[in-house]
Amino acid sequence: MENKKTSKKITRVEDDGKGSAPASGKTTKFVASDESKAKARNFRIIAAVAWIVAIAFEIVAIFQLRNVPVNTTILIVLIVAALIFAVTGSMLWKKANRFDPASEKEKVRFFIQNQLGVIISIIAFLPLVILIFTNKDLSGKQKGLVGTVAVIALLIAGVAGVDFNPPSQEQYLEQTQQVEALMDGVNHVYWTKSGRVYHLFPDCSYINTDRTDEIFEGTVAKARELKNITNLCSRCEQRVLREQESPE
């Protein structure tokens, strides 16, 4: 199959030597590499620490509500600090899931693993919101101000924690098999720093442009892990199909 050269810098993203496979060894089950699992574990540990810190700020804020008079400024600072750590934890957790996705067949685990950020956000902010609006020592003005900040923090953290397109082992397998079917069993794609799709050819006109300085190459899983790219370039796919229909 024709694969023209490109003058762009091409950077290979390693994948434990599992990047390409012959047609006789097509992918039948997706299993994250040891390297990917290790990265996922590290991201999850850091995410867990961030979430613990966020909840710690919530607890401190709850104790702050017991002080009379309540210091509104300190309370808002604590809420904002909790928000920062909650969102950071969610971002890292979702990144970890791209390196080591769960299986859709395990429905409970799949849901909890991919939406844990939302659950933590509720734990970190909902009790505080309730206590703010039921606190008798807060004036109406204080409840309006601090309560609004807490509700906004809950909404931001909740949205940040949602994974609207959660990765799964089945999804990775399907995408890999699609590429292998088009490329004679080889799991190998190309993408750019700002790209939203992966490509089958480095000289594809969508990425081989004056605006592109560097092209990355690796497996379908790597494109998802590093850039969360989920779609194949339609132009590359049509090019393969045309070449298959009209072989030279």
Q: What is the DSSP letter of 23?
A: G
Instruction: Kindly state the DSSP code that residue 199 receives in the 8-state scheme.
Output: B
Beta bridge partners of 190: 199, 217
Span between the terminal Cα atoms of the chain, in Å? 9
Nearest in space to 197 (alpha carbons), one of 221, 172, 231, 226: 231
Three-state DSSP class for residue 210? coil
Q: Where are the domains of the chain?
A: 9-20+188-245, 34-161
DSSP state of 151: H
- One-letter amino acid identity for 202? P
Q: For residue 139, what are its two tokens?
A: 């004036």
| Per-residue pLDDT tens digits of the chain, which is 248 residues long | 555 566 678 888 876 544 444 444 566 788 898 999 999 999 999 999 999 999 999 999 999 998 888 899 999 999 999 999 999 999 999 999 999 999 999 999 999 999 999 999 999 999 999 999 999 989 999 999 999 999 999 999 999 999 999 999 999 999 999 999 999 999 999 999 888 999 999 999 899 888 888 999 999 999 999 999 999 999 999 999 998 887 65
